[in-house]
Amino acid sequence: MMRLPRFQYYTPRDMTEATQILADEGSDAMVIAGGTDLIPNMKRKQQTPKTLVALRHIESLGQIKNGSDLSLGAGLTLSDLVQNDKVKAEYTGLWQAAIQVATPHLRNMGTLGGNICLDTRCSYYDQNAEWRKAIDYCMKKDGEICWVSTGSKRCLATSSTDTAPALISLGAKVRLSSAKDEREVLLLDLYQDDGMDYLLRRPGEIVAEVILPQAAHWRSTYWKLRRRGSFDFPVLSVAAAAALTPDGSIEQARIVLGAVSSQPLVCEKVDEFLAGKKLTDEVIEEASLLCGKAARPVKNTDFAPAWRKRAIVRIATYALRELRGDNMSEQRRSIARHVF
Ligand SMILES: Cc1cc2nc3c(=O)[nH]c(=O)nc-3n(C[C@H](O)[C@H](O)[C@H](O)COP(=O)(O)OP(=O)(O)OC[C@H]3O[C@@H](n4cnc5c(N)ncnc54)[C@H](O)[C@@H]3O)c2cc1C
Ligand code: SF4
């Protein structure tokens, strides 16, 4: 049986208290929201904080504010998002991403903030402590070498959050709070392509809020491939969002790939290619091939990298067809069974 190590547990009631505890405790402390990722990681000794600061009693983190933008508290559970009619109707890609995370039980506990800050994943890392000890660990925790690419100077673990690609495609910002100050950044700018240091979060910062711009004229969609169709982390995903003119031309598009790099991968070339065009079959084919070219999956998750690279083209085609308004329910079912 894997047991949790001992740790101190704080239950602040507001953000001032929470950020102050984090500032006082320093780098030995981590925040915990739903705990659905952090607790298993602590049992496997991948993450070893001496202090946990729980966010679940902070009321402001559970709020939704619907003004000119839509503001989602980072403490909302994924089930809260799935049950929200506005999210479903106007930010469909986010809704589709949230409903495909894990299982209903985990979505009842797992939060938006926890999903955004989710640890990166790798087949050599997502193992118990004994397994990892047997291979002398790896660079991400306790070791020196990267087993995915022994010559690599950095960890290549994969960003596996479902909601981040969808949120980035929708132009989301995040508000970060610390004991010192508050700042707002594009969610995209929270990530960097490094499997160990994947978040550009300053020490002591808590993600307080996710802010989505108005969705007028925008359509969005999220497609995910995973080993088990019922529930699993993504091995690749495509988030696509576009602002359309009344005649169906694309004013602006944002295509973001998930689980093929240590950060959500923005496909700028595809966005440029799509601007001003209508989603004809030919345009969709060309754009999907460009998505395949952009992604460079490595051998650190389920399915061979070459197969995942080919599969991206197909999944991107499905995403763009759904954006166009095609009924893709059959393809969604076939993906769950992996019929390619
Ligand atoms: C069996 C299983 C299947 C899963 N499948 C998926 C899946 O398909 N897709 C997917 O995306 N995830 C999946 N997960 C992972 C996890 O359940 C979700 O990502 C969930 O949303 C994490 O949220 P949480 O609140 O539980 O995060 P926690 O475990 O509490 O925290 C995760 C990380 O985020 C940090 N954190 C949490 N909240 C904040 C905040 N507000 N500000 C700053 N840092 C914060 C924590 O310090 C920690 O580093 C799965 C987990 C399990 C156990
Ligand atoms: S990519 Fe390399 S360093 Fe990173 S977790 Fe995997 S084996 Fe470890």
Q: Give mean pLDDT, residues 229-241.
A: 94
Q: Is the CB of 262 under 6 A from ligand 2?
A: no
Residue 232 falls inside a structural domain: yes
Give me the chain's average pLDDT, please. 96
Same domain flag for 193 and 70? yes
The answer to whether residue 130 is domain-embedded is no
13 and 69 assigned to the same domain? no
Co-location of 271 and 177 in the same domain: no
On whether both 109 and 206 belong to a single domain, the answer is yes
DSSP state of 5: P
Q: Which ligand is nearest to the CA of 151?
A: 2
Residues 21 and 65 in one domain: no
CA dihedral 92, 98, 99, 101 (to 10 degrees): 150
For residues 75 and 176, membership in a common domain is answered with: yes
Tokens of 23: 């500032």
Model confidence pLDDT, tens digit, residues 38-57: 999 999 999 999 999 999 99
Say whether both 274 and 304 belong to one domain: yes
Which H or E element spans position 241? strand 236-244
pLDDT of residue 340: 65
Q: Has this prediction a pTM greater than 0.95? A: yes
Region of 286 please: left (phi>0), alpha (psi -120 to 50) or beta. alpha
Question: How far, in Å, from the CA of 191 to the mean position of ligand 2?
Answer: 18
> Using a 6 Å cutoff on CB, does residue 316 contact ligand 2?
no
User: Is the C-beta atom of 122 inside 6 A of ligand 2?
Assistant: yes
The CATH number of residue 103's host domain is 3.30.465.10
Q: Where are the alpha helices (DSSP H) in the chain?
A: 15-25, 38-43, 78-82, 85-90, 92-99, 104-109, 112-116, 129-134, 163-169, 268-274, 281-294, 305-324, 329-337
Query: Do 197 and 313 belong together in one domain?
Result: no
pLDDT tens, residue by residue, 100-127: 999 999 999 999 999 999 999 999 999 9
Domain span including residue 20: 8-56
Task: Write the secondary structure of 185-217 as one string of H (helix), E (strand) and C (coil).
Answer: EEHHHHECCCCCCCECCCCCCEEEEEEECCCCC
Residue 120 Cα: closest atom of ligand 2 = 5
> What is the tally of structural domains in the chain?
3
Residue 75 — left, alpha, or beta (φ > 0 → left; ψ -120 to 50 → alpha)? alpha
**Hey, whose CA ends up nearest to atom 4 of ligand 2?**
155
**Which domain-ending residue is among 16, 41, 56?**
56
CB-based contacts of 269, cutoff 8 Å, min separation 6: 290, 293, 294
Same domain, 197 and 234: no
